[in-house]
Structure 1
Amino acid sequence: MAVHKSERLLNLLIMLLVQRHYVSKDRIRAILYPDSSTEAFEKMFERDKEELRSLGVPIEVGNMDAYFDDEPGYRIRPDEFALPDVSLTADEAAVIGLATRVWEHARLAEATTEAVRKLTALGLPLDVGALDIAQPRLSADEPSFDVFWEATQERTPVEFDYRRAGATTSTTRHLEPWGVVRYSGRWYVVGRDTDRDEERVFRLSRVQGEARRTGAPGSFDIPPGTDVRATTMRLAPQPTLTRAVLLVRAGSGLALRRDAESTEPGVTGPDDRTGWDRVTISRSGPGVADEVLGYGPDVYVEEPASLRDEVVRRLRAVVAEAS
């Protein structure tokens, strides 16, 4: 199933990223493809490697033994994977969207933990710190996310009930999904609305109930030259920009620091257990509170007051629900 494929791709990426040496094909098969036949494993492994490579993941092939070249091994070097700012294609942006929700999406978080647990149990030398390259904090809480993501990969039509902004009732829509994109703090699916025969963008948080795949995989082709992100930016509502001043615990908030407008080190923070830095960021859309909450006690909002109030309100709601 497609869910297993998504988990398998992530597990393969994690396995090759956290190990310090090349990993043999036999070991990869034993850990990630244990129930597959030799023929099925060869096909899936080659397909998975090529899919990761096509999305910008630098899988390196080398010899397991410096004196013998009969058994190739595989790895992902963290220094090559941690790329500087680059311009992403629609496909690359899509895989980043998937990768950045690994630690926040319950099902894939379990897959990540399980992959590391299996490798640790085998006594393999791991560099788990390599997983901090992205330090992802994006959430994908919409129940329909998986359905649309999987349908995009399979090129399977989707049927769903959708309620537009300001509407009191929902309507059933039919879509050939081209991609799932995070834009302005929200998740959108882009594709061809088959009822209207037009390209459309739908916000996933407005999907009512469960989205349903209808039809067989490979039922449609994505138009050549389609740029899913550009289409989303053209059709989705224009974002509003939020400027926030944050106190960030020293050694935390790597993603916040990476594109910060300014960073002031060594400031007074909410506690004295560690040092603190003042980080100023600008974000579009309503997702700033989500991002801040993802860092827990390592980030404190100084400005604006409206953002701080929203974070406090949501934290109190969590405490009230748990009590």
Structure 2
Amino acid sequence: MATSIDPAERLLNLLIALVNTHGRMTKEQVRASVAGYADAPSDEAFERMFERDKDTLRDLGIPLVTVTDAGHGDDIGYRIDLDAYALPAIDLTAAELGVLTLAAQTWQDRTMRGDTARALTKLRAVGQGPGATDLVAGLAPRVRSGGAVFAPLLDAAQARQVVRLTYRAASTGEVRERRVEPWQLIARRGGWVLLGWDRDRGATRSFRLSRIEGSIRAVGEPGAFDAPSPEQVEQAMAAWREGPARVATLAVLPERAEATRVRAIETPPDAPDWSQDPVVGPLVVGRDVVHVAFRNAWELAEELVGYGDAVLVLDPPDVREHALQLLERAAALAPAPRVDDDVAVLEVERG
């Protein structure tokens, strides 16, 4: 029994055949010679299959041309317009290649890292000179990986398939399962965000991928919802618009928190001398006072608590409070350390 060919493979076979045909291919020639169309059980099934594949090629921007025989108007064939399909010669300046390099460095997720690296290698082969990387040194955006949930969410968004996910709210720490219609994945504030429709709450919502716990579970069939309107996407993105720039003051241990240090700005002229503060002064001894710009207090707090006691937040108070809340939640989730009975007795006797 012959093995059925996947629709994507059949579509690729059709594209290859039409690119390499001399003149044109009729439907009869396609059915007889392109792998995958022999699976059609009837003429009607073949017609539907072929029409669907033609529409898909055109939707992908591939210039599929219909060619009619001059002597027989009903003798129709197809080919790819090679002049329109071929990629024009690429001549990138060092600056242009540098910008592409900078953009590609955003994609550090393992699902896309290989593709961007291969694409850059090919572009550098036709670019001008080796200096492109130097032009953008130190400017690379820092976007944390979307982790294991990135690929299944991307697949679900493309398939318009509802998903179940377990989400931990940033402000309350509450963990709850959500049913979501995934719309888009966007990079915001150093991480990935899912925009979508929360079916349980009946409203647009955005979800930071780093706060999703466990795996993504697809629910129901693909095509379960329509693409969102521009107004719906705009509403979902509202929470992620950049607020006014602010400055945080941190006390950082030497040679620690390098990813934060590289964003340091000059000391503001009105910044206090923390070493002279009677309360804070002893805490900053042996530490570097670093000033960094930020726009979202919760996002900065999440970053800083990852450094543990290597970073102390001196100012502003809301970032410090958010960091303390996150640390308190983490401590509440951690199991109490096991104390050996003999050690406990010894400590009591010493007391």
Give the structure-1-normalised TM-score.
0.41
When Rg is computed on C-alpha atoms for both structures, the one with the higher figure is 2
- Higher relative contact order, chain-length normalized (CA < 8 Å, sep 6+): 1
